[in-house]
Structure 1
């Protein structure tokens, strides 16, 4: 079994945040993840213009 070197908790948190952002709005995501500062959450929240347009209908 191969192991992943240099993998940290921060990496898995970033991945989880990215995946959750597909289903939650940024304010909902803030509450789930626990960020107090919206600008720090936006580091992980990478919704594309196409994804945002799709949510708008």
Structure 2
């Protein structure tokens, strides 16, 4: 491996790390209010529907 290959690999690793960190941050900031809402819901059928929706969201991402 040449020096430029190593630089490119380092760049890709750091880019991937940044993207995954941003993605994780966005996912958490999007899901956190949903979980707060879920805990405040008293209606059981609404909760079950909500949990299903959250599971679908998580599996899609």
TM-score normalised by length of structure 1: 0.29
TM-score normalised by length of structure 2: 0.28
Greater fraction of residues in helix: 2
Greater Cα radius of gyration, structure 1 or 2: 2
Give the number of the structure with larger relative contact order, counting CA–CA contacts within 8 Å between residues 6 or more apart: 1
